[in-house]
Structure 1
Amino acid sequence: MTIRSIIEAIDKSQRDTLVSLTDFRGRGRGKGTEILSSRSRGLYWLWCKTPLDQLKQTDHKGGAHVPIKKLLHNRNGLDHICKIQDGEYRILYNGMGGYSKCKKGSAYGLRGRINQEVISNNTKTGTINIAGLKLDINDWKVSFFDFDDAENHQLLRELPETAKLDIGEIYKKYANELEMLWRMHYGTPILCRY
């Protein structure tokens, strides 16, 4: 299997997980941790239907937050910006998140990283901060590729030199590379800084 076909399979898999951020963050049957467990590692994509001109009115007050206004101004109309859509929704951002111990007794994973995009006011954390900017959460969706989902293990084993690695080691070795390769193949989402 070529790297291109692996990237395309990851893209297909992530599109199959597309869900509203309201359901992703919700509680109850078919919501929240039933969609994605807390202890997971992988890649994620944020989709939005808010018009870009409306998002251009949004601006953070400094720190590591994503500078939405600046990025939309500087990048709109460029050739290699991701143009993937699902109905009214368009991919605006993607990233990665993995399980690791942040401090004694705490855990941080893909689910936590996605939630940071919604509610983190910490100016040291590079997030969109959807709620802090008073953006309508109903205009946002998320999709993801979970390295810990057993259905994805065979695909991940197609990557070079993974025969003796466990999934955690595959995540550490390949997540950043796969994120970058996806952007090279499909275009960089307009709100990704790097």
Structure 2
Amino acid sequence: MQQDFSVLFTSPVSNLYLATLSSINDAQEGHLRKITKSAKGRLKLEDGPPTKADGLYWLYTSYKDEDLRASQPSPKRKAVPVNRIASEREGLDMVCNRRVGEFRLVYNGIGGLGIKGYGGLRERILEEFRGGDGTGSLAICDTSLNDLERWRYSFILWPEITHAEKIEYLAQAVRVETLWRLHFGWPILCIR
């Protein structure tokens, strides 16, 4: 699924630019996947990205805003304080309200880009669920929002995107992530 997103890096905001962001969004919304646990308790990503791949990801949940605000966050160091973040953003106009069926988008991010050897997209998505001390993840499985049937994820692999400029991937990915958020709304659980 090779798509030309070069307009994101070479032109000012235009209809073409907005169409590119919509194309990225349509691709990710069209492929929500499940997260499950194996018989041995290991997390499994349905049709997940390969190990050590680079890309962008989105997390969806069927939990309601009230559930997010009343949740017990993960006790892990630097885990996102889901309840506090959701409470602070209650009623704000720019919070993302994108839905796919019963699932609302609540988080998005970048995986595998930056300093090599620090994991990948698959690893980052899994980290959002299992957490890790100091990772800044949601650590969903350690919260009261740990019913995996109520979560979905989607992703786009970075190599699937055609780039016009040869600059550091991380700078491009941060730009795409930020522009997506500015256009579609800030996911309620994204801190920065």
Q: TM-score range by the shorter chain?
A: 0.7 to 0.9
Between structures 1 and 2, the one with greater strand share? 2
Report the CA distance between 1:174 and its aligned residue.
0.6
> Which consecutive residues of structure 2, in runs of 5 or more, have no partner in the other structure?
1-6, 8-15, 38-42
Secondary structure of the structure 2 residue equivalent to 1:22: strand
The question of whether the paired residues in 2 share the 8 Å contact of 1:82 and 1:187 is answered with: yes
1:180 maps to amino acid = T
1:70 maps to amino acid = R
2:90 to 70, 76, 90: 76
Over residues 74-105 of structure 1, what are the superposed CA-to-partner deviations in whole Å (9 max), with x where a residue is unaligned? 11211000000111100001110115533xxx
> Which consecutive residues of structure 1, in runs of 5 or more, have no partner in the other structure?
none
**Residue correspondences, number:** 170
Secondary structure of the structure 1 residue equivalent to 2:136: coil
2:149 to 138, 141, 153: 138
1:141 maps to amino acid = R
* TM norm structure 1: 0.79
1:44 aligns with 2:68: no
Structure 2 matches for 1:116-155, cutoff 5 A?
A: 116-122=127-133, 124-134=134-144, 135-148=146-159, 152-153=160-161
The RMSD of aligned alpha carbons is: 2.1
Q: Which residue of 2 aligns with 1:108?
A: 119
How far apart, in 2, do the equivalents of 1:125 and 1:140 lie?
Answer: 20
Secondary structure of the structure 1 residue equivalent to 2:141: coil
Q: Which residue of 2 aligns with 1:18?
A: 32
How far apart, in 1, do the equivalents of 2:48 and 2:76 lie?
Answer: 33
In the TM superposition, structure 1's runs of 4+ consecutive aligned residues that sit over 4 Å from their partners are: none
2:172 maps to amino acid = Y
How far apart, in 2, do the equivalents of 1:57 and 1:46 lie?
Answer: 19
* TM norm structure 2: 0.80
How far apart, in 1, do the equivalents of 2:49 and 2:26 lie?
Answer: 17
The question of whether the paired residues in 2 share the 8 Å contact of 1:41 and 1:171 is answered with: no
1:180 aligns with 2:141: no
How far apart, in 2, do the equivalents of 1:21 and 1:61 lie?
Answer: 22
The question of whether the paired residues in 2 share the 8 Å contact of 1:42 and 1:171 is answered with: no
1:7 aligns with 2:21: yes
